[in-house]
Structure 1
Amino acid sequence: MLRTGDQYRESIRGTREVYINGEKVRDVTVHPQFKPLVDIRARIYDMQHEEAHRDIMTVEQDGERNALGNALPYTQDDWWAKRRATDNMMNEIGGVVTRVGDETVGEMWSLYDGQDVLNEVDPQFSKNIENHIFNVLKNDPFHVSANTDPKGDRSKAPQDQDPDMLLHVVKETDAGIIVRGAKYETAAAYANQAFTKPTIANWGNNELSDYAVGFICDLNSPNLKFICRTGFAGRAPEKDYPLANKFDEVDTIVIFDNVLIPWENVLFYRHTRAAAFIRATLHRYSAFAFVQRNLKLADMMIGAALFNARQTGLDKQQAVQEKLAQLAVYREGINAHLTAAITLGERSPAGLMMPNPSLLYTGRVHACSQLHNMVHIARELCGGQICVTPDLASFEHPETKPWMDKYYTINDEWVADDRRKLLAFARDMLNSDYAGHRLTFQLFAQSPPFAHLGAVYRNFGWDGPLAFVKDAANLSDNVMSGQAGSMGDPAVAKWFAAKAAE
């Protein structure tokens, strides 16, 4: 079933207890700080029905047409189709939005790959994840991901402080488990359901931890409270801050005040190996969608910087060309990693097509670790005027308009109004409160840098370089004893072997 935008809006109206700026929100679909993102998500739903977008954004399976972003990937072509669909979506809405569902449903595919682990504790949990994957495919909910807990004093075990600092099970009932605690979730106040899971990695020897729980949470459940950070929409005129007013995705601390999770929604419980497994494999699919967002942001920075350089002829200077080339290298580095991750994809334990983990995770490190440098380069290329240009009101006031027209018109191609729009766009993308939030958000949405590097460490084929040096240095076979990992990346070796055979 493909939902419409109106069906989505209706699904999030009702009894939710949502707070923002000290105000209790009656309807998130019309509240000024939620409405822009609700409208974007509704627009994406409607695009799936429109002739111009339907074939790009949906797929026909078993006689039904479903959202392409929710479809399980079995082939390389499936990933190329997902990449085209995401590009099409971003191009249509005119910007980058992170949380719309396609980037988080992949986290459940990681559990699908771990069915053997889940079967160790209860075969029903394995069945539950399969049911939920196909529920997302068939019913097209707005699915998000619950992220970090408040955690409290990290030098103490959860049991040695207020236990609610980490989400945990307080009771088992015939109907399901009762959970307490809190989770930070972007877009939760206007989404349908969330994959809720632990975010700690070191479980020690506690094999029956009440904190080792993962489940699907219906965000219309009783006893949930949504306390949101202040949004950027509406703080300043939209024409002066076009991105902040349209694309700010409101983050929420979701309070679980004794919330019932039905057994059919429980994916694992009291099983620390399952909790450790999901932390280790959480992003093996979803990282692709997140990194693709960085690619679109790189396009935005290049476009704004190049327009600004060309309008004054600065693009002819070597120093400017070198800065533009650095942005291009960053952009193409992301592009190359995404392309290679598909091309050298691997078959997962559940038979899915998994983007090559080593290439995908190193691409994520490249995209995220260099983002702040690229933002500063784009600032340089846009010049100081993005921080000193007056707002739209000054360009329209009868007493100041002539001066704004005089000093901001460059030629017949670049009149004052277009130049103001470009500078406002660049300012909001690079310099505004919203821009700073987006940059910091990278440390939250895709996990912190140490976790990125940890994923690379766990997935790189270390034995390939070791074997090369062993032979080149004429070392004995003893030096390779006890070494873990594959002899180089098997997917890469397979690909080069196939090329050699051609």
Structure 2
Amino acid sequence: MIRTGNQYRDSLRDGRRIWINGERVTDVTTHPMFKPLVDIRARIYDMAHEPRLRDVMTYEEGGERFAIGLKLPYTQDDWHAKRRATDTILEDVKGIVTRVGDETVGEMWSLFDGQDVLNEVDPRFSENIKRHIGLVIQNDPFHVSANTDPKGDRSKRPQEQDPDMLLHVVKETDAGIIVRGAKYETAAAYANQAFTKPTIANWGDEKLSEYAVGFVCDFSSPNLRFIARTGFAGRAPIEDYPLSNRFDEVDTLVVYDDVLIPWENVLFYQHTRAASFIRATLHRYSAFAFVQRNLKLADMMIGAALWNVRQTGLEKQQAVQEKLAELACYREGINAHLTAAIATAEKSPAGLMMPNQSLLMTGRVLACSQLHNMMHLARELCGGQICVTPDAASFRDPEAGKWLSKYYTLNDNWQAEDRRRLLAFARDLLNSDYAGHRLTFQLFAQSPPFAHLGAVYRNFDWDDSLRFTKEAAGLSDRVYGRPAAAAE
């Protein structure tokens, strides 16, 4: 059933070994670089218990309440409910969090669709995925995704270098498989479990089968180590970097040092077709929640830019309006793809309601490939002051503050402090380390741009365009590779 925030915090105090900035973390729930996101995830759990939000965040079944984000989608209404719940979360925390569970559990639904593939190698694996989806719904863990390996020298096969550069199975036992390697996993240090899967693209060589493994890993398992990158929280005052200090989802290298994965947690193993299937269909559900975050990011950029030009009296200029309109087109383009993906949703092989794949995947390309352009537009509209404005402490200084008050006060409605707050917010959104990290994260977090386009290629309906052009151009049926008489 749905957990409380404190139950979630308690679940992280399991003795896991975490390092950040060269120090061992004794309690991830209180460490200053992890605490902001732990608190946000705890807040999401607590939102499900509040009477005013309960019906938005949860659904009832069999007299019990479960999280909307984890529900298997069987109808369009299920997707509308998921979208509404995510928007409610982002509005409540007043920022963007991506790795909180609803956008990663969908990856397991892709395997649910591939049960026939799993049954080919071992029917137990098909049963395992169904059972784990049920456990996620029932136990409400914080579930993340493990995709990217260190990879090493990518011009070489893994057997030609340290084989641990890609996570692989080193031993089978009666209890399960023993795995070794490492994965980069955003939010892993404060999550409960991960769907761990391979990233190798070429499965033509049977010798690589030891790398064709997917499983659910309990992060309280022995022999795991979590080595996190330096967080942004606490590096500068929150008044100057309001987003960096609250919404940095710390990425972690999770080291699997001969970790036992019980057989009941293995979803596929030594089956290259299953590995290929999951890589090709991994984001058919999870891309929706991922792209939805870009919609909120677009709102933040529009808001920061529009408030700035209103402050400085430039809103009526045609050149300014054109740039704002470009931001609006980007925002509404994402909105249109998400809305249409639900409106034209289709049944999946397992009977789930799947967002229209062509519209969803083209929407993801729009959202990710144009983000850097939109950020630059927003920078231009905010002006150079986002990179030169002094810090909050200078505004409070008795002597320096007088001068800053003079030069940053615009009129009776816009005093220096509001001007400073807006510029600090825009700087953190567009120019800071956090801003650069988010830009890269959105570009690669659901695979790199070429894979985004590959998903479009696999899901776009090419046949209708070919048919129409054939008829319009008067081409013979031979272009389809069959004689005209046979076609008639």
- With the shorter chain as reference, the TM-score category is over 0.9
The structural deviation recorded for 1:52 is: 1.9
CA shift at 1:473, angstroms?
1.3
Counterpart AA for 2:187? A
Alignment root-mean-square deviation, CA: 0.9
Residues 233 and 248 in structure 1, CA contact (< 8 A), matched pair in contact too: yes
| Distance (whole Å) between structure 1 residues aligned to residue 77 and residue 14 of structure 2 | 40
**Which residue number in structure 1 is paired with residue 150 of structure 2?**
150
Letter in 2 for 1:157: R
In structure 2, distance between residues paired with 1:131 and 1:72 = 13
TM-score normalised by the chain length of structure 2: 0.98
Give the aligned partner of residue 492 of structure 1.
none
The match for 1:428 is: 428
Partner residue, 2:349: 349
Amino acid at match of 1:414: W
State the identity as a percent.
Answer: 79
Q: Distance in 2 between matches of 1:139 and 1:150?
A: 31
In 2, Cα distance between equivalents of 1:192 and 1:384? 43
Deviation, 1:201, is: 1.7
What amino acid maps onto 1:214 in structure 2? G
Post-superposition offset of 1:458:
0.4
Amino acid of the structure 2 residue aligned with 1:209: S
What residue in structure 2 maps to residue 31 of structure 1? 31
Alpha-carbon displacement from aligned partner over 1:317-359 (angstroms, at most 9, x marks no partner): 0000000000000000000000000000000011000000000
Residue matched to 1:314: 314
Query: Does the Cα contact within 8 Å between 2:229 and 2:252 map onto a contact in 1?
Result: yes
**Is the contact made by 1:208 and 1:271 (CA closer than 8 Å) also made in structure 2?**
no
**1:456-492 CA distance string (max 9 Å, x none):** 000000010101111111111121238xxxxxxxxxx
SS of the counterpart of 1:283? coil
Give 1:446's aligned residue. Answer: 446
The residue correspondences of 1:376-391 to structure 2 (distance < 5 A) are 376-391=376-391
1:37 counterpart letter in structure 2: L
In the alignment, which residue of structure 2 is the partner of 1:245?
245
Gaps in structure 2 of 5+ consecutive residues: 483-488
Structure 1 runs of 4+ off > 2 angstroms? Answer: none
Does the 8 Å contact 2:369/2:443 carry over to 1? no
Partner residue of 1:63?
63
CA distance, structure 2, for counterparts of residue 37 and residue 29 of structure 1: 9
Hey, what's the Cα distance between the residues in 1 that align with 2:147 and 2:37?
20
Q: Given that residues 192 and 220 in structure 2 are in contact (C-alpha distance below 8 angstroms), is that contact kept between their aligned partners in structure 1?
A: yes
The answer to whether structure 1 residue 8 and structure 2 residue 16 are counterparts is no
1:437 is aligned to 2:406:
no
SS in 1 for 2:315: helix
Give the secondary-structure state (helix, strand or coil) at the position aligned to 2:53: helix
The answer to whether the 8 A contact 1:28-1:190 is kept is yes
1:99 aligns with 2:96: no
| Alignment match, 2:362 | 362
> Which residue is 1:477 aligned to?
477
* 2:246 paired with 1:231: no
Query: For residue 193 of structure 2, what is the aligned residue in structure 1?
Result: 193
Q: Report the 3-state secondary structure (helix = DSSP H, G, I; strand = E; otherwise coil) of the residue aligned with 1:314.
A: coil
- Paired residues of 1:14 and 1:27 also in contact (CA < 8 A): no
Tell me if structure 2 keeps the 8 A contact 1:207–1:271. Answer: no
Separation (CA, whole Å) in 1 of partners of 2:179 and 2:208: 15
| Paired residues of 2:180 and 2:258 also in contact (CA < 8 A) | yes
**TM superposition shift of 1:14:** 2.5
Hey, what's the Cα distance between the residues in 2 that align with 1:481 and 1:88?
53
Distance (Å, rounded) in 2 between the aligned partners of 1:86 and 1:263 = 34
What amino acid does structure 2 have at the position aligned with 1:178?
A: I
CA deviations on 1:414-451 (whole Å, 9 max, x unpaired) are 11111111100000000001111111112331211000
- The amino acid across from 1:393 in the alignment is A
Contact 1:207–1:270 at 8 Å: present in 2 too? no
| Residue aligning to 1:141 | 141
Q: C-alpha distance in 1, partners of 2:233/2:355?
A: 36
Q: C-alpha displacement at 1:205, in angstroms?
A: 3.4
Deviations 1:218-267 (A, max 9, x none): 01100000000000000000110000000000000100000000000000
Aligned to 2:326: 326
* Aligned-pair CA distance for 1:208: 6.7
AA partner of residue 288 (structure 2): F
Q: CA deviation at 1:207?
A: 6.9
For residues 59-78 of structure 1, give each alpha carbon's deviation from its aligned partner in whole angstroms, at most 9, with x where no partner exists: 11232210000001001111
Asked if 1:254 corresponds to 2:249, the answer is no
| Local SS of the residue matching 1:209 | helix
- Answer whether contact 2:386 2:427 (CA < 8 A) is retained: yes
Query: TM-score w.r.t. structure 1 length?
Result: 0.95
Question: 2:208 & 2:64 partners in 1: Cα distance?
Answer: 42
- Residue aligned with 1:226, SS: strand
Residue number in structure 2 paired with 1:400? 400
For structure 1, list consecutive stretches of 5 or more residues without a partner in the other structure: 483-502
Partner of 1:419: 419
Secondary structure of the equivalent of 2:294? helix
Do the aligned residues in 2 keep the contact of 1:18 with 1:24 (CA within 8 Å)? yes
Contact map agreement 1:207 1:272 (CA 8 A) in 2? no
Corresponding residue of 1:493: none
Q: Within 5 Å, which residues of 2 pair with 1:259-278?
A: 259-278=259-278
